[in-house]
């Protein structure tokens, strides 16, 4: 009785068999060599910003420096709304995302051990808020339970850490959240310090919004998160961890921090 494999190749010359096998191997190699497809928010400067020439900012610049050391070529990075990110990965339209490793995201994605960056989170309020004196005395997250917090759909950190708080998710972006805060649509915004300071300055909101000096929420790491069924995911992340540690000691890392964060 002939096997299925034998019958599939019957009647073909050795050259044809060799050629077919070679082409199949080349196709597999090409598939494995495809660049890592990464999605991120499209408007979160100075960390991420969509420009005519592509995604720019501290986050994509770091990924473009480090990932080619662990895979073939630079990654393909495109911006999407944060609240659609997981669905896009589930649909097989992307392989990874660089963001906060929330419990929801870790159900589907493997995280790097070494973060891409670590960003302090701060509390912001409108200067003319009637309760501004009380807000200036806030020193911990729990003390904000009686205030209305503003955020945007897709903010995974807020979803995970402010369960039970009064959170308004009506804003569609970080910049709109801060504009609404300036008009007292809510009492406070808890946001990434790097992005908030940049957006407040660029939006002309420095005279309307203040960073509460006593409130210390802590530093939040952003990791490379890769889908669990990505070929060689564990080897890729192990390499990324090693190269990220090395990159942090390089002059290029210092150069990027000065360029985007002014430090």
Tokens of 65: 């420096």
**Domains of the chain and any CATH numbers:** 36-117+220-261 (3.40.190.10), 119-219 (3.40.190.10)
Q: Which residues contact 135 (CB under 8 A, 6 or more apart)?
A: 123, 125, 129, 147, 187, 188, 212
- Report the predicted TM-score, pTM, of the whole model to 2 decimal places: 0.78
Nearest Cα to Cα of residue 47 among 99, 96, 94: 99
* pLDDT tens for the 263 residues of the chain, in order: 444 434 343 455 554 444 444 444 433 333 345 789 999 887 888 999 988 888 999 999 999 999 999 988 889 999 888 888 889 999 999 999 999 999 989 999 999 999 999 999 999 999 999 999 999 999 999 999 999 999 998 888 999 999 899 999 999 888 999 999 999 999 999 999 999 999 999 999 999 999 998 887 888 999 999 999 999 999 999 999 999 999 999 999 999 999 999 87
Cβ(135)–Cβ(122) under 8 Å?
A: no
Q: Which helix (H) or strand (E) holds 7?
A: helix 4-9
């Amino acid at each position: 009785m002939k096997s299925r494999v034998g019958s599939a190749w019957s009647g073909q010359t050795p050259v044809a068999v060799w050629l077919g096998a070679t082409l199949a191997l080349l196709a597999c190699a090409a598939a494995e060599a495809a660049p890592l497809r990464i999605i991120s928010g499209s408007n979160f400067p100075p960390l991420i910003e969509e420009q005519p020439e592509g995604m720019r900012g501290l986050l994509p610049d770091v990924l473009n420096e480090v990932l080619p050391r662990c895979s073939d070529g630079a990654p393909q990075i495109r911006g999407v709304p944060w609240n659609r990110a997981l669905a896009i990965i589930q649909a097989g339209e992307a392989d990874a995302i660089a963001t906060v490793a929330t419990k929801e995201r870790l159900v589907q994605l493997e995280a790097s051990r070494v973060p891409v960056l670590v960003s302090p989170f701060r509390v912001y309020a409108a200067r003319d808020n009637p309760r501004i004196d009380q807000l200036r005395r806030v020193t911990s997250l729990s003390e904000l339970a009686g205030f209305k917090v503003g955020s945007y759909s897709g903010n995974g950190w807020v979803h995970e850490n402010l369960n039970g708080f009064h959170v308004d998710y009506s804003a569609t972006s970080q910049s709109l959240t801060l504009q609404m805060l300036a008009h007292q649509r809510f009492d406070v915004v808890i946001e990434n310090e790097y992005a908030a300071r940049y957006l407040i300055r660029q939006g002309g909101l420095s005279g309307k919004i203040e960073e509460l000096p006593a409130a210390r929420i802590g530093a939040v790491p952003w990791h490379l998160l890769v889908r669990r069924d990505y070929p060689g995911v564990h080897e890729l992340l192990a390499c990324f961890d090693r190269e990220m540690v090395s990159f942090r000691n390089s002059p290029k890392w210092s150069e990027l921090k000065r360029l985007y964060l002014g430090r």
